[in-house]
Structure 1
């Protein structure tokens, strides 16, 4: 196993795949607002990896709960079992390199109780850069036995997120200009949850998409008020995808955090909810 239980390097993954207990691989390539990337998967993926579609299989239908509400746990479990996921076998998820979609799958598996799931640090690009092979052969995994048991990690609803912004640390993982309300390309209104702290998840990674070292992440989060053993921490984003990536970064740093899965797309859909703008939390 890797030194950090949340992520695995390409070299570490290659060694594990050659070992006696190779992990199940999930390919979660995705692009916001675009078609699914099954065609990219079919053009080349890690040997044995199964494609999982974020919009259809890692989220429920968009609506009052946001653009990517949580999927029905039983339906999610069926998807994971078809992909070969079992409770006692390790899982590694990856995407095209940004890490957001892989983090969404990682978070869902953790929330539903899977004990051994990690993200390939740097995604497919890191795998190729390390000399890893890709294939066009379709995967044919044996049926898994994973049965979801939701609630294994922290989940926030709108009320809990608002309360945490007052009593703990609520981090906004979106770009700073969306937090400040200067632009809002997707949701009904720009701005942030009152009391939330701007913490763009893009600042948790290097130019190649790999996470910063754990010490650097701890230092960054400490400046934002988040520390292991400190005040409770929560994260939100636009629709619960990039926020999962920030929860993953916090985990790499050794800090537990809850995810507001509905995020800004749910919050901003109700005109009765307060909205703050500008660089300050309040």
Structure 2
């Protein structure tokens, strides 16, 4: 009897703990449940539907016939698809290094304590928060080949007028520069936060040892922000692979498909050419490439951590 009496409090304690745990789960799902349903309704279910669509010849007006992997096989013979791949790859190759280098340099400058530093920080962030449509319309006016402000200035100075958005060799470079201007404010903010987390004692010790600005930057700041660099590189690749707004509001893929990107090509296929099944196949090819890049980035981070351990 004494054993039963002794075990009763423990049983009541366990029962109370289980009730509290159940209450925590109910409370947690009451908050997370609506967001989970929205995620399922607006993300996962459309993704599954688009995957099924990619194996049909649907035009969104009808269900279409099952064509198996024909849409994916057709990609191998599609010159516009490969042009879009090259254009998108060019954005990634040009944008990522420039964004990281310029973003870190600007973040270091903005970390100084000078009068009006808050205003300067805001100036670099404004292009990031401005509507991409507004930026596209503005840049279309500035870089237009025939009526653009930049060519007007060049003509006034007696310099050669450039093709800019009307030139197949220059249009993609112009759009990439504009894209960099609109997006690297995010890079600056992330780098600035990382720099401000560096211990002041470490920086003071380096200064006492005679380290100059370049030495401090190279041996303290750069290694300290390396995790953020990896994050920003992955984020930037994903961002660049989804490049669409500026193309839509400026060149519409021209001239001669020189600015067609993967996402813009998907839009053209689905809403302009009514080839929804083929467009879904292109979209899922992009998704597979992005997933592979994220897995490779995760593998690199894991290997680096294991090497340090």
- Fold shared, TM-score > 0.5 on shorter chain: no
Give TM-score scaled by structure 1 length: 0.28
Higher relative contact order (CA 8 A, sep 6+): 2
Whose strand fraction is larger, Structure 1's or Structure 2's?
A: 1
Structure 1 or 2: more helix by fraction:
2
Larger Rg: 2
